[in-house]
């Protein structure tokens, strides 16, 4: 197992009293798994992702990365993160954005160049290598953000609603590209989304989260063969089941 989470709690104290953003979370993620964290907004799925990334420390409980307890206490390139708002460095070109992480690691220049070039080719970004992010579409920007993480060879990819801001068609294209990259680079992916369709289409396992306290409500294995047909009966059965579960939480969130 690659990521092992035991009895994880995250408590916030606000003017309205204290509440548990995360309560008694126990998850085991195996190497090469594609996990989707699904839940309504405010259920703590991003909080959980940030805890794994090392951006915010939990109140109690442990996160083991490869059996190591200290890893998750600071952010690092072994857990590359892709953000919904792309978060590309606007003053760097596409190629510079991708090579930045490698330059930090003091990788030799020729190696950086060949690696960046190959990623640019694989993600259909080669023609835009000298462009600045402002000149790219949303889909292109997210490809660069993915390439930036791939360049680091991180075994784990953390994705925080990465396709949330994209139009439906671009989103679908990127979902397929992501699945290809996932298979090709043997990544372990934790992918946060509030789209039920997206989670069933992508994941090996969908973890449904509840709203306040944030717990893992369901852990559903998706046994459909890829590429998945979003119109088939099994897909829709799962969708009905998950929709009901999510709507309960959504109703509580808006009560």
- Decide: is 159 part of the binding site for other proteins (CB under 8 A): no
Nearer to other proteins, 52 or 238 (CB): 52
Place of tokens 């606000």: 14
Q: What string marks each residue from 127 to 146 as x (binds other proteins by CB under 8 A) or -?
A: -----xxx------------
3-state secondary structure of 118: helix
CB of residue 199 to other proteins, shortest distance in Å:
24
Residues of span 15-54 touching other proteins by CB under 8 A: 53
- Decide: is 100 part of the binding site for other proteins (CB under 8 A): yes
Residues of span 180-219 touching other proteins by CB under 8 A: none
Among 9, 32, 64, 83, binds other proteins (CB under 8 A): 83
DSSP for 130-187, written as a single string: T--GGGS-HHHHHHHHHHHHHTTT-SEEEEESTTTTS-HHHHHHHHHHHHHHHHHHT-
Do 247 and 231 meet the contact criterion of CB atoms below 8 Å apart? Answer: no
| Torsion angle in degrees (nearest 10) through CA of 85, 171, 99, 67 | 80
CB of residue 224 to other proteins, shortest distance in Å:
32
The site that binds other proteins (CB under 8 A) totals a number of residues, namely 25
Work out the burial of residue 107: count CB atoms within 10 Å of its CB; fewer than 13 is exposed, 13-18 middle, 19 or more buried.
middle
Interface with other proteins (CB under 8 A) = 53, 55, 74-77, 79-81, 83, 85, 87, 89-92, 100-101, 104-105, 132-134, 148, 152
């Amino acid at each position: 197992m690659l990521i092992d989470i035991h009895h994880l709690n995250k408590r916030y104290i606000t003017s309205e009293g204290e509440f548990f953003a995360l309560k008694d979370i126990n998850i085991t993620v195996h190497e090469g798994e594609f996990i989707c964290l699904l839940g309504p907004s405010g259920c703590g799925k991003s909080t959980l992702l940030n805890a794994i990334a090392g951006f915010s420390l939990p109140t109690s409980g442990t996160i083991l990365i490869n059996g190591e307890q200290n890893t998750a206490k600071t952010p690092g390139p072994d857990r590359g993160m892709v953000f919904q708002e792309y978060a590309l460095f606007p003053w760097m070109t596409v190629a510079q954005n991708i090579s930045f992480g490698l330059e930090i690691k003091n990788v030799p220049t020729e190696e950086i160049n060949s690696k960046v070039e190959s990623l640019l080719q694989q993600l259909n970004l080669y023609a835009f290598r000298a462009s600045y992010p402002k000149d790219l579409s949303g889909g292109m920007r997210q490809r660069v953000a993915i390439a930036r993480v791939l360049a680091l060879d991180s075994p784990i990819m953390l994705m925080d609603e990465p396709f949330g801001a994209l139009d439906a068609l671009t989103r679908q294209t990127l979902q397929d590209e992501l699945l290809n990259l996932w298979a090709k680079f043997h990544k372990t992916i934790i992918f946060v989304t509030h789209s039920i369709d997206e989670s069933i289409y992508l994941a090996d396992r969908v973890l449904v989260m509840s709203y306040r306290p944030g717990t893992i409500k369901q852990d559903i294995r998706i046994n459909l063969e890829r590429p998945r047909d979003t119109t088939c009966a099994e897909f829709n059965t799962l969708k009905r089941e998950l929709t009901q579960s999510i709507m309960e939480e959504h109703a509580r969130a808006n009560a």
